[in-house]
Amino acid sequence: MGNGKTPVSAVVAIDGPSGSGKSTVARKVAERFGLGYLDTGAMYRAATWWVMQKNITLTDRDAVSAAVRKMPLTVQTDPRRQNVICGDTDITDVIRTSGLSKVVSQVATNPDVRKELIRRQREIIARECEPGGFSGGKGIVAEGRDITTVVAPDADVRILLTASREARLARRAREVRGSDSAQALAATRDEVLRRDRDDSAVSEFMTAQEGVTEIDSSNLTLEQTVDAVAALVGGPRGE
Ligand code: DC
């Protein structure tokens, strides 16, 4: 996605369900190519944190979207540490708690919230393709559920990262609970399967759309998955 000044800037869009590994893979690909990184899920998490702080009922569509439009959110694009700051509070870690993960879909399925956050995501992506951004205008890897289809359908590289239900559950259980025992798997089920069912009502991220390359990571290691994505990014910055 060249802009005249920086003809080599690239936008890499990666979508996928929970536990597909897309955040880790997107970060590593961004680091490898010196690109910025945007985790759009963090923005829906930040919005949820913000409206909860304000004691707004998450199902009150108008009150939630009005609050989100005023949210003073800064999302940094350094792939080594994407700080998420709301006002003067660093919420990078607090937005990862399992209590918030359980309710975030209620905010992420609010159409007016999506409209506002999609607008901000497009701005961040455009800024990263300019010389002043973290990557110095090289571009960005943006990941989420609707990046390849809605946020940046004209991205240079569009990837859907999938994995079997079993692989996704086990990964998320290890990540969040440090184990993939039967008990940890059962506790993680809601966060992965129920949430994906709810989220897929508003975005298509289980099936690759036209022009989107699907990579199934069920039987790939993290390194192999990063290599598969990097091969599609390729170009002069490839290794
Ligand atoms: O990827 P994640 O678990 O951090 O995402 C948090 C929530 O935001 C999840 O419920 C899906 C939703 N989401 C979305 O609807 N669209 C995106 N582009 C990214 C995330």
Q: How confident is the model at residue 3 (pLDDT cuts 50, 70, 90)?
A: very low
State how far the alpha carbon of 16 is from the alpha carbons of 52, 63, 144, 148, 220, in Å: 26, 29, 7, 10, 15
Residue 35 has pLDDT above 60, yes or no: yes
Mean pLDDT of the region 20-46? 96
Q: Mean pLDDT in the chain?
A: 92
For residue 176, name the pLDDT band (cuts at 50, 70, 90).
confident
- Closest C-alpha to ligand 1, atom 16: 145
Nearest residue (CA) to ligand 1, atom 1: 41
Q: Which two tokens stand for residue 105?
A: 């879909």
Residue 194 Cα to ligand 1 midpoint, Å, equals: 13
Task: Determine the pLDDT at residue 17.
Answer: 92
Read off the tokens for 224.
């192999």
Q: Whose CA is nearest to atom 4 of ligand 1?
A: 41
- Give per-residue pLDDT as tens, 214-223: 999 999 999 9
Q: 157 has which bridge partners?
A: 12
Is the distance from CB of 138 to CB of 8 less than 8 angstroms?
yes
- What is the predicted pLDDT for the residue at 205? 87
Pocket lining: 110 vs ligand 1, CB cutoff 6 Å: no
Q: Tell me, using a 6 A CB cutoff, whether residue 22 lines ligand 1.
A: no
Dihedral over alpha carbons 136, 37, 218, 152 (to 10 degrees): -90
Given a contact cutoff of 8 angstroms between Cβ atoms, the answer to whether 112 and 119 are in contact is no
The predicted model gives 180-190 an average pLDDT of 90
DSSP, collapsed to helix, strand or coil, labels residue 216 as strand
Domain 10-233: top CATH class: alpha beta
Q: Which atom of ligand 1 is nearest to the CA of 40?
A: 19
CA–CA dist 115, 120 (Å, integer): 9
**What residue spans define the domains of the chain?**
10-233
Q: What is the Å distance from ligand 1's center to 2 Cα?
A: 28
- Give the tokens for residue 130: 């300019």
Give the residue whose CA is nearest to atom 20 of ligand 1. 41
Name the residue among 32, 34, 63 with its Cα closest to residue 50: 63
